[in-house]
């Protein structure tokens, strides 16, 4: 069914279509008689043998929705009924910000890819925290991760304070945190991936984490464009700071070898989708091998099929996440992946 509808969706601006679809999904879930039941019966994954515990959290299945799809936590309940084992919201910043100028998302259909330069557009951490607090008041068992960043106008020397504000505000309402220093769409952000600034940031958050009777797993989301030497630093940083793990990978700035027209493929922003499949898997395997599987990895980047997901798990990932593959392949991809994984 989705493959019949997709050509219609793809005639319109990607960002406008995104909000058109998720708003109607939420309405269908919340207000249509039996809407929730229909979604669950069609897409939810109720398959034994997929449950797993990673960094102290129990996941009903290993397939999650990556950050960026639901930045403000507005559609969590509806999306969770499409079969996802966990939902990651954000990237959120302390203050609301509009993000970069539109248009800022582009489809590369010949490559089954997207380019985005959204720029951490979000309604701010206070709005997200209140929305998640309402979700928790319903005794929801949905596993939710909070992806945190800094505001565009915050200089890098003050970035730690932005991450602390988001961390403190979301601590009681998320299950795990993701520190995003790898988006290519906030000027200077990737400089925080350098060893010194990154150690300082993660150590500060870990100290904050230990002040609470209950700590939260903190993961680091990294770029696929890091060299092996930089990946070696990542392994060392994770081990020294004691954070829970890594998400590999974010979008790439490498746009070589694309099939799509140059007018689209040279747009500024991060590239996601099939062109990232191989590289993200390579990064996962390198980190897993180099660390001797010392910490969990969430694999994301170019998962468009059950095989893509299995390849990332075989490379060393404990969990996987979808974004662009979800858009190109439709909501049925979650169940298809899970059905194949359980056979393994």
- pLDDT confidence of residue 80: 94
Distance between CA atoms of residues 183 and 186, nearest Å: 7
Cβ–Cβ < 8 Å for 113, 324? yes
Q: Which residues are within 8 A (CB) of 52 and not within 5 positions of it... i.e. 6 or more apart? A: 58, 59, 62, 318, 319
The active-site residue, picked from 112, 183, 272, 288, is 183
Distance between CA atoms of residues 69 and 90, nearest Å: 8
- Annotation marks residue 183 as catalytic: yes
- pLDDT confidence of residue 286: 98
Percent of the chain past pLDDT 90, that is, above it, reads 86
Residue among 187, 188, 189 at smallest CA distance from 179: 189
Q: Which two tokens stand for residue 3?
A: 């493959």
Q: 155-189 pLDDT, tens per residue?
A: 999 999 999 999 999 999 999 999 999 888 787 77
DSSP for 245-288, written as a single string: EEEE---BS--TT--S-HHHHT-SSEEEEGGGHHHHHHHHHHHH
Distance between CA atoms of residues 61 and 85, nearest Å: 5
Other CB atoms within a 10 A radius of the CB of residue 162 amount to 18
Q: 123-132 pLDDT, tens per residue?
A: 999 999 999 9
Pick the more confident residue, 140 or 30.
Answer: 30
Cβ–Cβ < 8 Å for 169, 126? yes
- pLDDT confidence of residue 151: 96
């Amino acid at each position: 069914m989705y493959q019949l509808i997709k050509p219609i969706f793809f005639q319109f601006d990607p960002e406008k279509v995104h909000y058109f679809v998720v708003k109607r999904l939420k309405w269908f879930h919340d207000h249509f008689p039996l809407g929730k039941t229909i979604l669950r019966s069609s897409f939810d994954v109720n398959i034994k043998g997929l449950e797993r515990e990673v960094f102290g959290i129990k996941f009903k299945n290993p397939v999650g929705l990556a950050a960026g799809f639901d930045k403000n936590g507005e559609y969590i309940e509806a999306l969770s009924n499409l079969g996802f084992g966990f939902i990651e919201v954000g990237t959120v910043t302390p203050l609301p910000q509009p993000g970069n100028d539109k248009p800022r998302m582009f489809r590369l259909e010949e490559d089954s890819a997207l380019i985005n330069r959204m720029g951490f557009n979000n309604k701010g951490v206070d709005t997200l925290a209140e929305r998640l607090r309402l979700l928790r008041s319903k005794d929801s068992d949905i596993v939710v991760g909070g992806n945190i960043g800094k505001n565009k106008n915050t200089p890098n020397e003050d970035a730690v304070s932005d991450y602390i504000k988001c961390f403190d505000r979301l601590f009681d309402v998320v299950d795990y945190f993701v520190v995003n220093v790898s988006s290519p769409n906030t000027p200077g952000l990737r400089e925080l991936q350098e060893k010194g600034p990154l150690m300082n940031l993660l150590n500060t958050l870990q100290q904050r984490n230990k002040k609470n009777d209950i700590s939260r797993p903190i993961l680091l989301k990294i770029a696929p464009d890091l060299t092996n030497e930089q990946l070696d630093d990542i392994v060392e940083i994770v081990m020294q700071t004691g954070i829970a793990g890594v998400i590999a990978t974010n979008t790439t700035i490498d746009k070589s070898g694309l099939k799509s027209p140059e007018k689209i493929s040279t747009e500024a922003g991060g590239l996601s989708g099939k062109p990232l499949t191989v590289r993200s898997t390579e990064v996962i395997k390198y980190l897993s091998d180099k660390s001797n599987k010392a910490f969990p990895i969430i694999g994301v980047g170019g998962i468009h099929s059950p095989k893509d997901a299995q390849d990332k798990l075989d490379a060393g990932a404990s969990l996987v996440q979808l974004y662009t593959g979800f858009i190109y392949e439709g909501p049925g991809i979650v169940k298809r992946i899970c059905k194949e994984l359980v056979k393994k």
